[in-house]
Amino acid sequence: MSADAVHEDLLEEEDDLALPRKKRDDEEMDITPMIDITFLLLIFFVVASKMDPTKIGTIPSADNGLAVSADDSAIIFVDPGAGDEVILKRRDGSEFSRDEATQSSEIIEYVTSELEKSIGKNKNQVMLLGDANVKVGKVTRIQQIIGDAFEDIESTYIAVKEE
């Protein structure tokens, strides 16, 4: 046998011994890179976003609501001021102080006096009447002052002026 014939026989034997290759299914897809990108985006948005909901947003409009009597509530009017400032007014129209520390004590005194006036009427709720342009954080601050000072108040209702 010649060298060429031996070489051809070896090539034929190698072809017979080679295992057939598995074809990859076109339907299978490696999703590992997609999962990596998803987690990277999640980490980015968690780090880059502001998590304080009281700093941003506006009060949403309500489609329907509960009818609450103003006579049975201590009412505080919340009007927009210059910039992000708000002007708080009592039922008689007099304004609360613009200083936040003084304002907190005035709100507590006012709500206490309104609740004491209603001994026979069973007044046990506060109503905040706000303008649509007032930031949610300002209304939330007033709610926190009332909630911290009066644990026995049933509800604090928020109403938004319609235009």
Structural domain tally of the chain? 1
pLDDT attached to residue 37: 96
- Tell whether 15 is covered by a domain: no
- Tell whether 20 is covered by a domain: no
The pTM of the full predicted model, rounded to 2 decimals, is 0.56
10-residue mean pLDDT profile of the chain (163 residues): values are 63 57 69 94 89 60 63 79 82 84 86 73 73 79 83 72 62
User: CB-based burial of residue 111 (10 Å sphere; 0-12 exposed, 13-18 middle, 19+ buried)?
Assistant: buried
- Tell whether 55 is covered by a domain: no
pLDDT attached to residue 13: 58
- Tell whether 34 is covered by a domain: no
Which uninterrupted H or E stretch holds 158?
Answer: strand 155-160
Which token pair is 163?
A: 């235009």
- Tell whether 116 is covered by a domain: yes
Which token pair is 14?
A: 């190698």
- Tell whether 129 is covered by a domain: yes
Phi, psi of 77 (to 5 degrees): -90, 130
| Selection from 112, 120, 126 nearest residue 69 by Cα | 126
| Selection from 126, 116, 120, 117 nearest residue 68 by Cα | 126
Burial 82-102 (b: 16+ CB within 10 A, else e): eeeebebebeeeeebeeeeee
Which token pair is 25?
A: 């299914």
* Residue ranges in the chain assigned as alpha helix (H): 3-17, 32-48, 100-117, 136-149
Give the domain extent around 153: 74-160
- Tell whether 62 is covered by a domain: no
- Tell whether 47 is covered by a domain: no
